[in-house]
Amino acid sequence: MDSFLIRGGTRLKGKIEISGSKNSALPILAACLLANGKTTLKGVPRLSDIDSMAKLIGELGCHVFRHEPGGAPQPGADGQPPMPALNGPLDIEVTDEKQCEARYDIVKTMRASICVLGPLLAKRGRAVVSIPGGCAIGDRPVDLHVRGLQKLGAEFRTENGNIIGEVRGRLKGCRMYLGGAQGPTVLGTINVMCAAALADGETVLVGAACEPEVVDCAELLIKMGANIKGHGTPEIRIEGVDQLVGAEHRIIPDRIECGTFIIAAAITNGELELKNCNLDHLIAVVDRLDEVGVKIERQNGTIFVSSSRRLNPVEMTTQPFPGFPTDLQAQLMALLCLGDGMSVVTERIFPDRFLHVGELNRMGARVRKEGPTAIIQGVKEMQGASVMASDLRASAALVLAGMVARGTTRIDRVYHIDRGYEKIEQKLAAVGADIQRVNEK
Ligand code: EPU
């Protein structure tokens, strides 16, 4: 198992290219099951979760082919190692529609596997998907996915840990409310939207998620021939069509990776130029960081980040888009640990998503958890320690803390980071971080 060794205290300076969005690419790969003919996706990041989804749709009869990378590696700043070359596009084509089962072996490694449910039911009339278990950030039920597809006419039963869905004839469009107790569901909205694209008649999804990843998937479906309106708002209208055909699409930039590197610049008191960003997707993050004292300027698709030495304390609550994303809560908390006063962070999407608190405290932070809220008393300095990565975003927070802590931080179990951050140590090393991947048996 790999670990990271990080020596804190270096200022980041230079350029980083933001990868394509993991959370957009995953459901989009599943959506490729809906189309006849080849789909070409550009900007799909190289991540272990993407490999898992490619394997899953491969088992479901898709031929998946990755082209060679485009362009040469770009030089790093001031004699630092080079930045990785850009990824080549991915071709996906359904060649066999017999297999309808998503096995537990894959589903247990990646919850986004549930995204094949809607496309399989709509296109093949049957789906067997292993029920995803809980994960480090909470229970994460899939009841809203199932309820939405039921309203379109699918019938479900559970057997031996699997959800078995069947459709007699064709799914039938209807008007439905898709929200749950914690608000809208991102992947649930995408799952039902994908299914409705091939249903008979009109579907109206009320209480739909507005996240950029939902919009990106809708844009691909539209290129495939779907008739969708209102994506990006809480009411999506989908007029079903008879068939969808392969298309070409570029995945949106990863707003969470971008937000993480903005915070990396701020926490190291550095200066970063981030390329391939869409700041409109980070409006609430920019709002909070502005109050902290982080300077963020945009020029087309590039943003420039710098920060003053003094970090103001802030209050922040995670919310569905356009609110502050839960996927950046841990990273912001790492920054606020060094704030000049007391900050308050409340988690509304996954109220148990606080595994990073204990590890940050081991590094000298002063964070106290009270239910879904964390109270952070800023400290002057954090110290390097041996810490454990628990989930993807919590691990990113530890990398951030490690870059500013005094001494060396060792982060074990970095396979969590590899699920969602493409070549993070290479990207950070290229702008001056002292970070190394080690594999000690
Ligand atoms: N929920 C239900 N029932 C459902 C589905 C969701 O009660 O059937 C609840 C969840 O428990 C949660 C809330 O609804 O309280 C929102 O969850 P959502 O369904 O929106 O989450 P998701 O679609 O499963 C995606 C991202 C997560 C991100 C969340 C919230 C992917 C692959 N995952 O998950 O990303 O945190 O939206 O924005 O897109 C990550 O990248 O680290 C990550 C966890």
Full pLDDT tens readout for the chain, 441 residues: 899 999 999 999 999 999 999 999 999 999 999 999 999 999 999 999 999 999 999 999 999 999 877 655 555 555 555 555 568 999 999 999 999 999 999 998 899 999 999 999 999 999 999 988 666 777 788 999 999 999 999 999 999 999 999 999 999 999 999 999 989 999 999 999 999 999 999 999 999 999 999 999 999 999 999 999 999 999 999 999 999 999 999 999 999 999 999 999 999 999 999 999 999 999 999 999 999 999 999 988 899 999 877 999 999 999 999 999 999 999 999 999 999 999 999 999 999 999 999 999 999 999 999 999 999 999 999 999 999 888 999 999 999 999 999 999 999 999 999 999 999 999 999 999 999 999 976
Ligand 1: distance of its center to the CA of 416 in Å?
17
CA quadruple 122, 128, 129, 131: dihedral sign: positive
Query: Strand, coil or helix: what is 245?
Result: strand
Q: Are strands 294-299 and 248-250 parallel, antiparallel or unpaired?
A: unpaired
Ligand 1, atom 37: nearest CA belongs to which residue? 186
| Residue 136, pLDDT score | 74
CA neighbor of 92 nearest in space, from 45, 157, 32: 32
| Cβ of 114 less than 6 Å from ligand 1 | no
Burial 17-47 (b: 16+ CB within 10 A, else e): bbbbbbbbbbbbbbbbbbbeebbbbbbbbbb
Does the C-beta of 140 come closer than 6 Å to ligand 1?
yes
- d(C-alpha 421, C-alpha 392), whole Å: 8
> Is 407 near ligand 1, meaning CB less than 6 Å away?
no
Catalytically active residues are 135
Q: Is the CB of 47 under 6 A from ligand 1?
A: no
pLDDT of residue 86: 66
- Cα separation, 422 vs 396, in Å, equals 12
Terminal C-alpha separation, the chain: 7
CA of 182 to the centre of ligand 1 (A): 10
CA of 310 to the centre of ligand 1 (A): 34
How many A from CA of 209 to the centre of ligand 1? 10
Ligand 1 atom nearest to CA at 114: 24
217 lines ligand 1 (CB under 6 A): no
Instruction: Indicate if ligand 1 lies below 6 Å from the C-beta of 323.
Output: no
User: Two tokens at 350?
Assistant: 């996954």
Q: What is the pLDDT of residue 308?
A: 76
CA pair distance 280, 29, nearest whole angstrom: 24
Give the whole-angstrom CA distance, residue 394 versus residue 417. 9
Give the Å distance between the CA of 190 and the centre of ligand 1.
Answer: 11
187 lines ligand 1 (CB under 6 A): yes
CB of 143 closer than 6 A to ligand 1?
A: yes
Residue 209 phi/psi, 5-degree rounding, is -70, 145
- Six-digit token string for 248: 């070409």
The residue whose C-alpha atom lies closest to atom 43 belonging to ligand 1 is: 327
pTM here is: 0.96
Can you tell me which residue has the tokens 């209480």? Answer: 207
**CA atoms of 195 and 191, how far apart (whole Å):** 6
- The CA-based angle 422-259-290, given to 5 degrees, is 165
Distances (CA, A) of 262 to 175, 351, 378: 40, 24, 19
Ligand 1 atom closest to the Cα of residue 209 is 20
Atom of ligand 1 nearest to the CA of 110: 32
What's the pLDDT score for residue 390?
86
For tokens 């606020």, the residue is 336
Residue 57 C-alpha to ligand 1 middle, in angstroms? 21
Looking at residue 77, what is its pLDDT?
A: 55
Q: Which atom of ligand 1 is nearest to the CA of 147?
A: 8
Nearest CA to ligand 1 atom 11: 140
144 to each of 207, 270, 285, 344, how far by Cα in Å?
11, 43, 28, 30
- For residue 82, the model assigns a pLDDT of 56
